[in-house]
Amino acid sequence: MSELLRAYLTVVVFLAAAGMLVGVSLGMGRLLRPKRPSAQKAMTYESGVDPVGSIFGQSQVRYYIFALLFVMFDVEAVFIFPWALGLEVYGVFGLVEMTIFIVILALGLLYAWRKGVLRWV
């Protein structure tokens, strides 16, 4: 196996360990616990208050706009990584190009802020 992939073996080992942790603890619990189901136990726990109505409530459009802002700056981050790694190589040219990129994207944040979609009331 190549050096590169061997490095990722750590990830696989941790993944397996995480899976085992969950599997073993739940499995042990299932083996040891008594099994007497009742309607009360199956009910969702809401800090002692009986839950009312359906689990589904239509959420506000605000969440969507926040998620959209997140996607936008996520993509921005993706472009910043390769630039940051070669900061000196790309020099002034890279800095100028990246500044234009970031300023144009920052206008999106400015727009959202001025239009009041960031206010949470």
Enumerate binding residues for another protein (CB under 8 A). Answer: 1-5, 7-8, 10, 54-56, 58-59, 61, 63-65, 67-72, 74-79, 81-83, 85-86, 88-91, 93-94, 97, 100-102, 104-105, 107-108, 110-112, 114-115, 117
Q: How far is the CB of 24 from another protein (least distance, A)?
A: 21
Q: How far is the CB of 1 from another protein (least distance, A)?
A: 5
Task: Please say whether the beta carbons of 76 and 105 come within 8 A.
Answer: yes
Kindly state the tokens that stand for 31. Answer: 């083996």
Q: Which is nearer to another protein, 28 or 95 (CB)?
A: 95
Name which of 75, 76, 78, 79 is nearest 90 in CA terms.
Answer: 79
Neighbours of 66 (CB within 10 A): 15
Neighbours of 81 (CB within 10 A): 8
Give how far the C-alpha of residue 105 lies from the chain's centroid of Cα atoms, to the nearest Å.
21
Q: How far is the CB of 114 from another protein (least distance, A)?
A: 5
Q: How far is the CB of 8 from another protein (least distance, A)?
A: 6
